[in-house]
């Protein structure tokens, strides 16, 4: 069998340069993806938090606002303590 040989060989420095370039590209891409995911999850968390405290109206009829329930319960407990 005939061995296929490349037209030229890659030196150790060229190989290290290619590896460094690949690592830089990977780190850049990973940072961009991480930033995108972080901003997305933060936005979703803030949206959910604002819906729970009642600053944003319900979505598709799903009301997760608990602020009024908490206020009513606290008022009830305070009235019980004051009237006792």
Instruction: Return d(Cα 75, Cα 67) in angstroms, integer.
Output: 12
pLDDT score recorded for residue 14: 94
The secondary structure of residue 57, as a DSSP letter, is -
What pLDDT band is residue 4 in, cutting at 50, 70 and 90?
A: confident
Using the Cα atoms of residue 55, residue 61, residue 65 and residue 40 in order, give the sign of their dihedral.
Answer: negative
pLDDT exceeds cutoff 90 at 60: no
Q: What is the mean pLDDT of the chain?
A: 87
Work out the burial of residue 54: count CB atoms within 10 Å of its CB; fewer than 13 is exposed, 13-18 middle, 19 or more buried.
Answer: middle
What tens digit of pLDDT does each residue of 11-51 get?
999 999 999 999 999 999 999 999 999 999 999 999 888 88
């Amino acid at each position: 069998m005939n061995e296929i040989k490349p037209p030229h060989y890659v030196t150790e420095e060229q190989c290290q340069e290619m590896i460094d370039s690949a690592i830089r590209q990977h780190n850049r891409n990973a940072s961009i993806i991480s930033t995108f995911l972080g901003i997305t999850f933060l936005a979703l968390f803030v949206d959910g938090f604002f819906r729970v405290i009642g600053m944003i109206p319900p979505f598709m009829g799903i009301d997760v606002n608990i602020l009024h329930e908490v206020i009513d319960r606290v008022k009830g407990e305070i009235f019980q303590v004051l009237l006792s």
